[in-house]
Structure 1
């Protein structure tokens, strides 16, 4: 009888034991880290500071490659920001990410300077000035010059750098969180923005610089936390597959126990194994979360005694063979004046949406488009001669059979016949 009990107990333990062991989790983290390192060699445009943040927040490093990427940021990204500042552009997001990337390598941010109109000032001085301009635009137009995601990044970067954030600046973010609470995500702040706002306001709270409005700050932080938790889907993701990384980062930064984030972490691990996160930007946001860290962790980094054991083995090139199977895609374009045009095209199964649009453009049926680069990859800037620019608060909204796409044109793949709608919308 005793033997039967022992055997039954052992069988129950074996079947209840999760397949996702600590070893397999470590292997996944290592694989994602290597994917990020390899992505550095294939980057288009200026280097991505978000990738640098993720590499620095990892527990193992290839310090030589990280140092090489830091130098690229100080050269190529720096020059891009310098050009934008000289053209009086609003670049608070890029300035903030640049600051955070430098801080993650324990680099002396005060030595980074920009020269505008023959006046040389530090990176942090320019960031503070841009934040003041964003704040003033909120007061006048009830919205930032850029958006609240970049605004939150600016607050976080200043705070992480030990700069006291002006109460008027942080109050604008608090009011935005309170004003948008309870509205549909499609009409208000996105989950990504709530997450970034949470990390920024948590940093402000930790710095002790918002003592006069401590109660309001606590209410805003609780609002962010409840909003993120309420966005959890049945599969564990918060918002969608690509907002979960930042959302988990924010929850951890705001003091949520790791166990409370376990379903979302498992959802990220599951999708990572299924190659859902093939975009380096997506990996850069989930990797810190899976390491149980956040962008706020940068504030306490000392860059000492770091594990430098990560070796990147050479990989054999993978040749992609186009599929012989053709899939019908109907591209629907809705202009800002609500004029509707339809363009059918057959594309090889597995093509990206960008491939499909290029093929449609080559057919000379009246469909044209232009694209621009971003940290997430290419995005549509002009369709059929009509622009959708951030400066005009407009963008090209993408959907498939009525469901909004969570991936960009370079990542979304056509596997079945569908209607892709490209609509000029405001935000």
Structure 2
């Protein structure tokens, strides 16, 4: 056993050194600046609503462009605020978005007591509304054994209340602790490392606040289990869960006071992935950049917005428009409905096309395949395929896989590089 531990330790050391070959202080700083600039550029090219997660990452960074950040803050307070208010009026669940909005405002040291929603005839502050939403989530767990949304959003809600200095109801926290205990953080059949990570930050914040008086030992056990789950999810390449969950996982380990040796391999894996442009999606960068700077969302709690570096300047760059490839790739698209009925279609697409572009080409061929999409913070996602919906309210979604392997990227990010079968399956969670 001792020999195995030594071998694993030597492997980790060698692996870390291999990944850190180019990580001088100067190179690492350039990498962080590059990611920061990518986020700032995304503010100019983003489609849809302003992204509070991007704002949060910019504000947690060591480098700032206050003019751009202030412009984005104003968009959040107007466009995103109005969207959330509309959703609340229509009784649409927005727990995660409301939580991220409050964290984004807090990261800019904005007075949240001045932010109000007119949902009914009387106005309520953002934090009062978030507290009310979390009560609804808790009640839904009580009679349905699951949140109104999901445990990822539930965890974000607990985290946002706690970071903003609001005492979290013991029963709300208790439901999250029990979900950890019963291992309820799954997306389909796969454990959600993202959810464990956000739950870890949320429960650590509650523990630090001293507000959980129900049973102090339970929260320690839950945090211990979360840490075990995160570390056990680490792959041979250093990523925890997958490339896109590692940022939150490292944030959680940092927030929970883990030794740097416990996440250094994952930090190195993120640096390598960043240099290989794996994190080209702004949402992915927004969750990774804080971790690369050894920050976590818990840092928002003590943010003072004083003496910040304000020297980050955006370079003027012309947008790069990739030319379509002359090489065609055959793609089979298999659609599996909720009933189990399946249909298959074939389409030839230019190599390097996004999955979304491939689906557009297939739909234009008028062979019976149709789809609709909706927007999210991660980009567009499929909402309806061949006339059938997969709605969050029904706890269903369209699961995407390539040759049997689940995709970790969305329809606009995943690129078609070779012949393959894409399966789109109406799945419950």
| Greater Cα radius of gyration, structure 1 or 2 | 1
- Identify the TM-score tier after normalising by the shorter chain: over 0.9
Q: Does 1:149 align with 2:190?
A: no
> Could you say which residue in structure 2 is the equivalent of 1:52?
55
Q: Write the mapping of 1:238-257 to structure 2, written as runs, cut at 5 A.
A: 238-257=240-259
Secondary structure of the residue aligned to 2:215 is helix
Following superposition, the deviation at residue 16 of structure 1 comes to 12
Structure 2 length as normaliser, TM-score? 0.94
> Could you say which residue in structure 2 is the equivalent of 1:170?
173
Q: Write the mapping of 1:110-259 to structure 2, written as runs, cut at 5 A.
A: 110-180=113-183, 186-187=188-189, 189-259=191-261
Structure 1 length as normaliser, TM-score? 0.95
Deviations 1:287-317 (A, max 9, x none): 0000000111101111000000100010022
Q: Write the mapping of 1:53-92 to structure 2, written as runs, cut at 5 A.
A: 53-92=56-95
Report if aligned partners of 2:19, 2:269 keep a CA contact under 8 Å in 1: no
Secondary structure of the residue aligned to 1:422 is strand
Instruction: Give the one of 285, 288, 293 matched to 1:286.
Output: 288
> Could you say which residue in structure 1 is the equivalent of 2:13?
none
Q: Is the deviation greater in 211-220 or in 417-426? A: 211-220
Deviations 1:204-239 (A, max 9, x none): 000001133110000000000000000000000000
Deviations 1:244-276 (A, max 9, x none): 000000000000122321111111110111111
Following superposition, the deviation at residue 347 of structure 1 comes to 0.3
> Distance in 1 between the 2:104 and 2:215 partners?
30
Q: 1:17 to 1:103 in 2, by over 3 A?
A: closer
Report if aligned partners of 1:258, 1:292 keep a CA contact under 8 Å in 2: no
Deviations 1:174-230 (A, max 9, x none): 00001017x977536500000000000000000001133110000000000000000
> Distance in 2 between the 1:331 and 1:17 partners?
40
Q: Is the deviation greater in 18-27 or in 56-65? A: 18-27
Q: Does 1:327 align with 2:329?
A: yes
Gaps of 5+ in 1: 1-13
Aligned residues: 413
> Distance in 2 between the 1:16 and 1:115 partners?
51
> Distance in 2 between the 1:177 and 1:15 partners?
35
Report if aligned partners of 2:188, 2:427 keep a CA contact under 8 Å in 1: no
Secondary structure of the residue aligned to 1:212 is coil
> Distance in 2 between the 1:119 and 1:224 partners?
40
Deviations 1:319-372 (A, max 9, x none): 211000000000000000000100000000000000000000000000000000
> Distance in 2 between the 1:49 and 1:135 partners?
24
Gaps of 5+ in 2: 1-16
> Could you say which residue in structure 2 is the equivalent of 1:11?
none
Instruction: Give the one of 36, 41, 46 matched to 2:44.
Output: 41
Q: Which runs of 4+ in 1 moved over 3 A?
A: 14-18, 183-186
Q: 1:271 to 1:396 in 2, by over 3 A?
A: same
RMSD: 1.5
